[in-house]
Amino acid sequence: MSGNSTYQQIIDQASIKDMLDYYGIEFDRKENKYFCPFHNDAHASLSVTRDDKWFECMAGSCGEKGNIHNLVDKMERLRGNEMDYLHIYDFIIKTQHLNIDFTLNEGKPKHLSPEQKKKNRQMNMLKDAKDIAINGLLGDKEKHGLASRYLAGRGISDETIKHFEIGYNEKSLIQDNLSDKYDNEEMYQVGILAISERTGEYYDFQFDRILIPIKDRTGVVVGFGGRSLEKNPNVSFVKYKNTRETELFKKSNILFNYNEARFEAATQNELIVVEGYFDVVSAYEMGIKNCVALMGVAFTDEHKELLKNIRSENLTVTLCLDNDEAGRKATVKIIQDLIEDGYDVNVIDTSILNKGKDMNDFLCSGVTVEELKSVKMSAIEYLFKYSFENYKEQTGKIDISAINKVYSGIFKNETFNNSLNEEIFIEYVSNHLGYGRESIINAIHPEKQSPLMSLAMQQVFCYTIRNKLMSIANERDDRVMQKFLVQGRLTANHIMDGLNSPEYIKKNGTSIAVPKFLDEYLINTKEYKEFEEKFDKDFDRLLDNVYGMDKSGNMMRIHLNARQKDIVQNQYLTTFDDDFKQYFKTDNERFLKLFIADNIEEYNRMLGEVNFMRNDFLKEYKDGKMCLINYGTMFDLGKLEYLHRTEPNKYTTANGDKFQAVLVFNNNSKELELKPEQFVNIDSEQDIIQYDEEIPKNMPYGFNRTAQDRRTTRNPRMSEVTKIHQIPPAD
């Protein structure tokens, strides 16, 4: 393979979205765009094409765009690193763990190893086969249209055909067109050809089939799925045939459509899993784009690793395998595997619809996405349903003994054995089988139930709901709700009274709508409204703009967790009096940042050359209090406009009419317990103060004054000195 084709292979396999994640570029899920790193982007403006190969900033003042090579080049220049084009390609391969042999030797690519040459040739061969099949389908339309009519009859549109690059291998079209470029043994090695057991001759493995390319996680074609045409008279044709296992294609490593669906799954926080590639194609036609296929019924450890690479903090896996016995058994097994690994799992139980077996049946039957959503249930509910149906099939009836047997069979698994699932089980049995609560409890726990045990179960249930609410509050970054929960203001009565409604518990009692309970009930209670009214949102905003120094003395941005934010806020509340707190609220635009100082040395380095007022501030720091640095006490008032012009947003407010103030948290006791991963390099951001550097000659007045300068200019008046318990001057 030539150098040029190697570079194109890198661009084809690499992911721009993964690279943006690598650089820590913020993603706006609502807008489905990134905040552009190449200009001061107040609104997410940078979009990435669906194929993940091109980025473009839509802001008119910016307009940066390009492929992944351009992205890395621009980002590294921002970081102060300049790399030649070969080192950029090498960086992309190493960062994204691409399986491409591209090592550097004095600025030139080394010769590829024989193994890599073989692999690249195989990938090219499969790409050629895909292109031939695409042209074959286009030719089919112009001739008899057998394959085209089949796809149209199954509800597959031209747009979907183009998206999945579906083709048609009429007779031996691929073998005939590739035979001049590749020998038969090469085509056999990648699964394009097979060898007849009867004659020992090579033949086109996907003879006379509609072909759907199977791609790996980076979008490289590694095999094909073939669908026979129903009117084909040859009874030896099976309906579906996949490329056999090869060096490139291992079914256990691949989720069909993962290279596309993972981005939509990250946006929706849900990945839908079906059995076959034609199910994915049909789901896409229905408007479902976060769908992958197992190409069978086994969910492997390699598949789980792919799930971990989806950019979602709370990914739900929704299973929609075929509505037959094999599909149902596989669903039960996968549920157990995924829940044990900590995933939230749902099931689309299409047996309720009674409109077919798989996604293509549903597409052809006119089933809507909303209908599919209507039969989605929690995994635990599906286990209950499936187990009772199995019991009835084996015994012909469901009686009180069935309740104990089904319960024992499911809850012997420690993954499911908890009080919340038991409550769901009791409600399920009550709603579906008509037994009363007491009878169900006696059936699953033959020993007498005491009132004390019931109370304990209620407490565990409430604890579980509180944890779920906290999880939602953390996901939404809702500080008011976080504080409300942390301070124990949500009582058991809130939970039990609020949830005692069909609005929040499904009719069958198997699912609790905790987000809905939060949004419609909890935030409207008197207790929450009073708490929200008193919550200091202004100071909380400051807690998202925190800076400090790492162990090397570099100024870094710090992301605090909820516990650390509480500690900082408590120091603020105990340090300052009511007058200052009121000033903080009314003149909040002055307070843009908060600095964390672990010791006096860091405090001194933070102040840098602004040292003529240092002793006044150090006393407060030594007393263990939070300190205030007011730039208005460190510069002449006449320099306000000059500082705004020469050092915008560094010492003055955004509009330049007032000096900034910086709060300093006293972390001398190391109470915050900051972790290294909480420090983020601010790179090109302007530091909140100058520290430990040689002060340049053009620094603003007041920073580098000589002793003589200070004698001939106005010294700050004592009334301008900010005392820790006084309102700062009006500047």
User: Over the chain (731 residues), what is each successive 10-residue block's mean pLDDT?
Assistant: 64 89 84 90 90 90 91 86 80 80 54 76 92 93 88 94 95 92 94 92 92 88 88 60 92 91 86 95 96 88 88 87 93 92 92 93 95 94 93 86 89 85 90 86 71 66 85 86 79 75 61 84 85 77 85 83 83 85 82 86 69 55 81 75 77 80 88 86 45 31 33 33 32 34
Reduced to 3 states, what is the DSSP secondary structure of residue 293?
strand
Would you state the pLDDT for residue 266?
82
Would you state the pLDDT for residue 610?
52
| Pairing mode, strands 376-378 and 316-319 | unpaired
Give the predicted TM-score (pTM) of the model.
Answer: 0.55
> How far apart, in whole angstroms, are the C-alpha atoms of residue 239 and residue 228?
5
What is the Rg, in whole angstroms, of the alpha carbon atoms belonging to the chain? Answer: 33
β-pair partners for 223: 214
- In 3D space, the residue among 586, 593, 539, 595 whose CA is nearest the CA of residue 730 turns out to be 586
- In 3D space, the residue among 292, 320, 293, 286 whose CA is nearest the CA of residue 157 turns out to be 286
> How far apart, in whole angstroms, are the C-alpha atoms of residue 228 and residue 208?
7
Number of H helices, E strands in the chain: 31, 24
Would you state the pLDDT for residue 726?
34
Residue 137: how many CB atoms within 10 A of its CB?
21
Would you state the pLDDT for residue 507?
46
* Residue 240, token pair as written in the block: 């579906």
Would you state the pLDDT for residue 453?
57
- In 3D space, the residue among 259, 206, 8, 204 whose CA is nearest the CA of residue 120 turns out to be 8
Would you state the pLDDT for residue 210?
95
Would you state the pLDDT for residue 603?
77
Would you state the pLDDT for residue 331?
95
* Residue 121, token pair as written in the block: 């040739």
Q: Taking each helix axis from N to C terminus, what angle separates 526-534 and 479-486, rounded to the nearest 10 degrees?
A: 110
Instruction: Give the list of residues 6+ apart from residue 193 with CB closer than 8 angstroms, or none.
Output: 175, 184, 187, 202, 203, 204, 205
